[in-house]
């Protein structure tokens, strides 16, 4: 087989080819030989007659024009090419002519539109000029008429003719006004429609307002007013310097730069510039001290008035009322006494209500305020205070705001601890007292015993020749209620109670709570003035605007006068019970006073802990090292109850254990309370409140105990029991017997064994023993063995002999006495 395997040789027809072999290599070692031929370039030689051009200069496209013909192209092909070239050139010239015509048409259209716009603009300008000229003419006529009227008025009151002749030259320029106006109309070198003063003459047209007049920036209204003021001053005899107003500037300990500028009525930029000139680079929002502010105030020519932060409370109206403004007001009566002596039941009988039925446990745990209208038409305001020992602060508050104290004493129980406390509160408040001896319907009632025991506390009733009224009453049967009301009316008449209702209201917060639907609610007893809906007030560290007033019957009222108890809605937070409510003029003043009071309270709390030295802290930590604490978290329904619970918790404990209230507040138990309780390992106590759903879920997850109470007795008893559990058990020793050592034996493997005679009581194997020698304790331990004869026994009775061996002790001698005792753990309770 040949190299090309019988295949034909690759090549191109014609010419003399040159051949060659190429060896191709492939994968896996395969190769192949390929024959390659190279074709030579073909050269076309022109014919002999075609080289020279024709003498006649044949046209292009004719067969004679062969000088530019490419080699190898025939005459027919050349002719066709020349015709196509000529057609292309003709087509190109036609397109160029068409483009030129279109451009010419566009230019003509543009020129036409420009001319139309110019003509329109020219017409508009001419119309504006005509309107302006017409307005100028009317203005000129008005001025001439006014000048003529002035001249006529001046002529009527003119001096002799000589004076008029002397004044004639001065009136000459006024006659040139029309010429000036005419010049202003014709030659517009100073601007269209403007006179020499640069003021616009004539009416302002709509086109002028829209086009901007002269095309410049328009002046503001303030600039126009200033210009008019300058012109008025110039007409009145020249510009006068505005007299500077010197102000009294109140400057506190620190003041913001912008506020200082505002109080001086100066520009903020000028004040900042003055500070920078004095070397202080400050902005308008930074504070400066009072000394720097004083320099700036004096530099601006004002008078400085230095005030302190506490002066913000000076806005509260504390002016004494005039006698002419005072009007009679209802008396405020506080019912006080021991728990379960029938205070609320007595008030219910007077009001014909059933308040006691709604109190948990049948005892009053909130301070209540009510108004009663008697049969005679007089109005009485009653405050019902709790009698439980924990509510001392509530009773003290009730005594402070009252006019008369009704001391309720049960005829079958006589004077009790809270009765004595109520007497002391009434004496401290210096208010008159009326004794109501209650429960006279009981068989064991003894009113004389009550009167006698009251003598011990310097309360001498009228029956005992004293000046304190006493009335025997029964809340159940209604006995003596009319006499009690008569006694109250008589006492109120003696006091001559008056107040001014036409002034800013002032009152005392009896109770405060956080209601779920209504927000913070305060029960306020108005003392002076009239509290109206919409009044802005400040109470303690809180402030607000009266959103609603609700009386003791749950009805909404528009206003509350002196001695009227109302619930006030609209506070921004829950105030403390006992805070004073004052009405102020603006919300800014109320906020400023509340913020100052809050800041002062914070600083007071911080100062209480800041004054402690390191040595005192270490000593306190050493003292508290052995004191166990029971942390609790308290949430109550009203502020007074929370305060009473905290005070009761502080009284629980001794030198070994105490209760620590981590937090106390008003309102429902929230998730944040649960978080605090978990961090401290404290239970959460809810008094007449409940935990919301997120708080309950969080407490279940974190294992925090929540306890609910509605009676303060139960709460105090449970906390006391829990605190008692932290007390270590008391170890008591009970002596059960004595034994005398008669003989000492040595026993192999045991050591020394004492042969004893139980002289008293009993000897037990499990008991503890002491070894006495000459009545001195030389060892205390336990028994290793107790035998009678050779048997191990648990106990040996008195008068019997036995063998005893001590645990890890062998120094025993004949004649020593063994004291046998047992230890007993006794649980301790907090009293």
Residue 306: CB atoms within 10 A of its CB come to 14
What is the bridge-based pairing of β-strands 751-764 and 795-797?
A: antiparallel
Mean pLDDT for the stretch of residues 776-788: 88
The reported pLDDT for the residue numbered 192 is: 47
Separation in Å, CA 788 to CA 94, 631, 738, 755: 153, 55, 16, 10
Can you spell out the DSSP letters for 297-327? HHHTTPEEEE--GGGGGGGS--PPPPGGG-E
CB 246 within 8 A of CB 263: no
Q: Does residue 709 have a pLDDT over 60?
A: yes
- Smallest CA-to-CA distance from 477 within 440, 508, 444 is with 440
Q: Does residue 55 have a pLDDT over 60?
A: no
Please report how the helices 75-156 and 177-186 are oriented relative to each other, as an axis angle in degrees rounded to 10.
Answer: 180
Return mean pLDDT, the chain: 78
Mean pLDDT for the stretch of residues 65-85: 75
Q: Does residue 3 have a pLDDT over 70?
A: no
Mean pLDDT for the stretch of residues 716-733: 79
Q: Does residue 309 have a pLDDT over 80?
A: no
- Residue 86: which pLDDT band, with cuts at 50, 70 and 90? very high
CB 668 within 8 A of CB 689: yes
Residues 6+ positions from 160 with CB-CB distance below 8 Å: none
The reported pLDDT for the residue numbered 318 is: 67
Task: Collect contacts of 777-781 with beta carbons under 8 A, ≥24 apart.
Answer: 777/819, 778/811, 779/806, 779/809, 779/811, 781/806, 781/807, 781/808, 781/809
Residue with tokens 């119309």: 127
The reported pLDDT for the residue numbered 412 is: 84
Strand order of the sheet with strand 368-373? 368-373, 379-384, 332-337, 404-410, 433-438, 469-472
The reported pLDDT for the residue numbered 163 is: 45
- Residue 739: which pLDDT band, with cuts at 50, 70 and 90? very high
Q: Does residue 433 have a pLDDT over 80?
A: yes
Task: Tell me the per-residue pLDDT of 127-162, one tens digit each, with 9 for 90 and over.
Answer: 888 888 888 888 888 888 888 888 877 776 554 444
The reported pLDDT for the residue numbered 70 is: 67
Mean pLDDT for the stretch of residues 550-573: 87
Q: What percentage of the chain reaches a pLDDT higher than 70?
A: 78
CB 46 within 8 A of CB 70: no
The reported pLDDT for the residue numbered 734 is: 87
Task: Tell me the per-residue pLDDT of 159-217, one tens digit each, with 9 for 90 and over.
Answer: 444 444 444 444 444 444 444 444 444 444 444 445 545 566 667 666 666 655 554 56
H/E stretch holding 827 reads none
Q: Which of 33-37, 582-586, 822-826 has the highest mean pLDDT?
A: 582-586
User: What DSSP state is assigned to residue 69?
Assistant: P
- Smallest CA-to-CA distance from 597 within 579, 623, 615 is with 579
The reported pLDDT for the residue numbered 317 is: 62
- Smallest CA-to-CA distance from 136 within 173, 177, 175 is with 177
310 or 281: whose pLDDT is higher? 281
Class of residue 709 by CB neighbours under 10 A (exposed 0-12, middle 13-18, buried 19+): buried
Q: Does residue 509 have a pLDDT over 60?
A: yes
Mean pLDDT for the stretch of residues 23-46: 75
* Exposure b/e, 508-525, CB count within 10 A at least 16 = b: bbbbbbbeeeebbbbbbb
Mean pLDDT for the stretch of residues 225-236: 80
190 or 788: whose pLDDT is higher? 788
Mean pLDDT for the stretch of residues 416-433: 83
**SS3 annotation, 94-131:** HHHHHHHHHHHHHHHHHHHHHHHHHHHHHHHHHHHHHH
Phi-psi region of 285 (alpha: psi -120 to 50; beta: other; left: phi over 0): alpha
- Residue 476: which pLDDT band, with cuts at 50, 70 and 90? confident
The reported pLDDT for the residue numbered 77 is: 84
Residue with tokens 């108004």: 371
The reported pLDDT for the residue numbered 356 is: 46
CA distance 784 to 380: 83
- Residue 538: which pLDDT band, with cuts at 50, 70 and 90? very high
- Smallest CA-to-CA distance from 436 within 333, 330, 329, 565 is with 333
390: its two tokens: 């924990």
Q: Which of 43-57, 368-382, 462-476 has the highest mean pLDDT?
A: 462-476
Q: Does residue 485 have a pLDDT over 70?
A: yes
Task: Tell me the per-residue pLDDT of 238-265, one tens digit each, with 9 for 90 and over.
Answer: 555 566 788 888 888 788 899 899 888 8
């Amino acid at each position: 087989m040949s190299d090309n395997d019988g295949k034909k040789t690759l090549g191109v027809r014609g010419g003399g080819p040159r051949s060659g072999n190429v060896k191709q290599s492939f994968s896996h070692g395969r190769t192949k030989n390929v024959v390659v031929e190279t074709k030579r370039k073909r050269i076309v030689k022109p014919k002999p007659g075609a080289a020279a051009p024709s003498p006649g200069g044949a046209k292009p496209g004719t067969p004679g024009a062969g000088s530019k013909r490419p080699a190898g192209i025939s005459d027919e092909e050349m002719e066709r090419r020349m015709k196509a070239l000529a057609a292309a050139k003709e087509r190109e010239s036609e397109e160029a002519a068409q483009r030129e015509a279109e451009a010419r048409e566009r230019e003509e259209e543009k020129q036409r539109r420009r001319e139309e716009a110019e003509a329109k603009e020219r017409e508009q300008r001419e119309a504006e000029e005509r309107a302006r000229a017409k307005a100028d003419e009317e203005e000129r006529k008005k001025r001439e008429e006014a000048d003529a009227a002035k001249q006529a008025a001046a002529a009527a009151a003119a001096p002799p003719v000589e004076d008029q002749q002397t004044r004639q030259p001065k009136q000459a320029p006024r006659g040139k006004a029309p010429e000036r106006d005419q010049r202003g109309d014709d030659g517009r070198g100073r601007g269209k429609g403007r006179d020499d003063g640069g003021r616009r003459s004539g009416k302002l047209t709509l086109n002028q307002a829209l086009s901007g007049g002269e095309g410049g920036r328009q002046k503001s209204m303030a600039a126009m007013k200033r210009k008019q003021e300058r012109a008025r001053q110039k007409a009145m005899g020249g510009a006068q310097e505005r007299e500077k107003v010197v102000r009294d500037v109140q400057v506190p300990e620190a003041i913001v730069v912008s506020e200082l500028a505002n109080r001086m009525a100066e520009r903020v930029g000028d004040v900042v510039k003055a500070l920078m000139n004095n070397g202080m680079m400050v902005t308008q929002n930074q504070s400066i001290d009072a000394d720097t502010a004083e320099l700036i105030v004096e530099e601006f020519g004002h008078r400085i008035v230095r005030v302190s932060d506490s002066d913000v409370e000076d806005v509260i109206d504390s002016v004494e009322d005039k006698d002419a403004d005072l009007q009679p007001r209802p008396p405020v009566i506080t019912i006080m006494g021991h728990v379960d002596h029938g205070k609320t039941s007595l008030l219910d009988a007077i009001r014909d209500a059933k308040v006691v039925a709604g109190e948990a446990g049948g005892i009053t745990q909130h301070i209540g305020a009510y108004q009663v209208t008697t049969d005679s038409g007089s109005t009485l305001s009653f405050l019902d205070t709790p009698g439980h020992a924990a509510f001392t602060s509530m009773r003290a508050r009730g005594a402070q705001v009252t006019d008369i104290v009704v001391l309720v004493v049960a005829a079958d129980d006589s004077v009790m601890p809270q009765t004595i406390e109520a007497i002391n509160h009434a004496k401290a408040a210096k208010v008159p007292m009326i004794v109501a001896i209650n429960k006279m319907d009981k068989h064991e009632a003894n009113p004389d015993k009550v009167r006698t025991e009251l003598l011990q506390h310097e309360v001498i009733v009228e029956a005992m020749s004293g000046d304190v009224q006493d009335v025997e009453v029964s809340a159940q049967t209604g006995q003596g209620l009319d006499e009690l009301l008569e006694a109250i009316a008589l006492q109120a008449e003696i006091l001559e109670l008056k107040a001014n209702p036409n002034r800013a209201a002032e009152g005392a917060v009896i109770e405060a709570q956080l209601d779920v639907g209504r927000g913070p609610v305060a029960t306020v007893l108005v003392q002076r003035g009239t509290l109206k809906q919409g009044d802005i007030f400040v109470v303690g560290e809180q402030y607000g605007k009266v959103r609603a007033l609700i009386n003791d019957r749950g009805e909404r009222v528009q206003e509350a006068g002196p001695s009227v108890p109302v619930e006030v809605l609209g506070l921004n937070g829950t105030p403390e019970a006992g805070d004073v409510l004052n009405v102020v003029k603006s919300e800014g003043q109320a906020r400023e006073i509340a913020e100052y009071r809050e800041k002062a309270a914070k600083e007071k709390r911080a100062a209480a802990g800041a004054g402690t030295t390191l040595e005192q802290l270490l000593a306190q930590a050493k003292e508290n090292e052995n004191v166990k604490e029971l942390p609790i978290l308290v949430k109550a329904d009203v502020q007074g109850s929370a305060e009473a619970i905290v005070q009761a918790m502080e009284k629980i404990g001794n030198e070994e254990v105490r209760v620590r209230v981590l937090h106390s507040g008003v309102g429902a138990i929230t998730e944040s309370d649960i978080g605090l309780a978990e961090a401290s390992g404290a239970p959460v106590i809810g008094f007449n409140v409940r935990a919301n759903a997120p708080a309950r879920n969080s407490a279940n997850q974190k294992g925090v105990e929540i306890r609910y109470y509605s009676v303060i007795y139960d709460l105090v008893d449970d906390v006391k029991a829990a605190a008692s559990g932290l007390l270590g058990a008391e170890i008591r020793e009970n002596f059960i017997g004595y034994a005398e050592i008669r003989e000492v034996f040595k026993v192999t493997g045991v050591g020394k064994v004492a042969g004893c005679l139980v002289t008293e009581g009993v000897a037990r194997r499990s008991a503890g023993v002491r070894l006495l020698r000459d009545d001195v304790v030389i060892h205390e331990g336990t028994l290793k063995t107790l035998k009678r004869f050779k048997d191990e026994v648990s106990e040996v009775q008195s008068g019997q002999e036995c063998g005893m061996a001590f645990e890890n002790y062998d120094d025993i001698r004949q004649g020593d006495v063994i004291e046998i005792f047992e230890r007993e753990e006794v649980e301790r309770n907090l009293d």
